[in-house]
Amino acid sequence: MTFVPGLTLAQRFHDEVLAPLLARHRPGLRYAAGLLDGGSELLGLDTARSTDHDWGPRALLLVADPAEVAGLRVLLDAELPARFLDWPTRFRGGPEVRLGVADPAGERHGVQVAELGGWLRDRLGFDPRTGIGVADWLATPTQRLAELTGGAVFHDGLDGALHTVRARLAWYPDDVWRHVLAACWTRIGQSEHLAGRCAEVGDELGSRVVAAGLARDVLRLGLLLHRRWPPYDKWLGTVFAGLPAAGPVVAALGDALGPGAWADRQAGLVRALETVGGWTNDTGLAEAVDPTARTFHERPFLVLDGGRFATALRAGIADPVLRARPPLGAVDQYVDSVDVLTHPERVRRVAAALLPE
């Protein structure tokens, strides 16, 4: 089978199979369709390797009336063709997999059918059509926001509801953006001196581990500064490298994580941090901060002192309640468990537990 990008395959599957089928059997049906429910193809990053699971002719079909869901599932199960563009339209896999492996003998097809509001609450823990509060933003992992605002919409026959949702989730309000950026800089400020201290006592492994953690924070911060939702780690470097201004930071972090000694590691980290410090000033979200490195107290380690940027950003927050919160940021800045972040009810419980009393 010849590989085609998953979004292209899904668009054609909708246009050439799903839409005509619905027009024949459910004329007048109001629905929205797209691909927004996860997968590398939503970011345009799928390859032939991606086809080994959760990949194939598929689509998300959303309706306004929950009473229509069961009947549509039965209809599609009976009427979808066995193959499309030589790809099986059915999948096999147990209950622990999202979709499974494309297989002509599979027990399920690749069209997910759901009522729009219920699907949104299942994916996010809330329905953006009724408003998005600060707690909603901060309890939503950026990977999930990347999925819902990425991917594609093939048809929006629900009075534009799906386009409205995507527009509302496009980016943080400025105060929330400041808070999340401040949390990034706080994390950096708390650990940027540790790589040097590890190296000073001969712990090269520990120094490299700290440097790698800082590099991850720099990538996430850089994407947030460019209004891009950071994806999960598999695609973090790829998406960051696609930023127009990424080249110097990619090169600097390559030095920081390369085989060189501590001096090379520190030089790379400093160049990367100075660059994203300048990017922070460029947003205009806070008073400008001098983005040049300095020694850590009286110790011979160069740092940017990320806390300075965090303080400036927090001072720019207009909402006094949000400004008073500790700089924890969004939930995926302090939680990295997949088994938490992929379950909105768990994410929201964790985030709610950390709200000020």
pLDDT, average across residues 209-217: 97
H or E stretch at 92: strand 90-92
Q: How far is CA 12 from the centre of its chain?
A: 26
Amino acid residing at 138: L
On whether the CB atoms of residues 249 and 276 are closer than 8 A, the answer is yes
173 CB-near residues (< 8 Å, 6+ apart): 137
Whether the pLDDT of residue 355 is over 90: the answer is no
Pairing, β 90-92 against β 87-88? unpaired
Distance between CA atoms of residues 327 and 354, nearest Å: 11
**What is the phi/psi pair of residue 317, to 5°?**
-75, 125
On whether the CB atoms of residues 30 and 63 are closer than 8 A, the answer is yes
Per-position DSSP letters for 93-148, written without gaps between them: --TTSSS-EE-TT-SEESEEEEEHHHHHHHHHSS-GGG---HHHHHTS-HHHHHHH
Buried b (16+ CB within 10 A) or exposed e, 240-253: beebeebeebeebb
pLDDT, average across residues 76-89: 94
pLDDT at 155: 97
Provide the β-strand partners of residue 156.
Answer: 32
The token duo for 53 is 């699971």
Pairing, β 90-92 against β 59-63? unpaired
Q: Which pLDDT band holds residue 210 (cuts at 50, 70, 90)?
A: very high
Collapsing DSSP to helix, strand or coil, 9 comes out as: helix
Distance between CA atoms of residues 226 and 228, nearest Å: 6
pLDDT at 99: 75
pLDDT tens-digit map of 279-308:
999 999 999 999 999 999 989 999 999 999
Whether the pLDDT of residue 337 is over 60: the answer is yes
pLDDT tens-digit map of 4-55:
999 999 999 999 999 999 999 999 999 999 999 888 999 999 999 998 888 8
Instruction: State what percent of residues in the chain have pLDDT above 70.
Output: 98
144 CB-near residues (< 8 Å, 6+ apart): 123, 124, 341, 344
Collapsing DSSP to helix, strand or coil, 26 comes out as: coil
Whether the pLDDT of residue 131 is over 90: the answer is yes
Whether the pLDDT of residue 95 is over 90: the answer is no
The token duo for 291 is 């983005």
Pairing, β 299-303 against β 90-92? unpaired
pLDDT at 130: 95
Whether the pLDDT of residue 97 is over 70: the answer is no
State the average pLDDT for the chain. 94
pLDDT tens-digit map of 151-201:
999 999 999 999 999 999 999 999 999 999 999 999 999 999 999 999 999
On whether the CB atoms of residues 113 and 61 are closer than 8 A, the answer is yes
pLDDT at 93: 78
On whether the CB atoms of residues 146 and 187 are closer than 8 A, the answer is no
pLDDT at 94: 61
- Whole-model pTM: value is 0.94
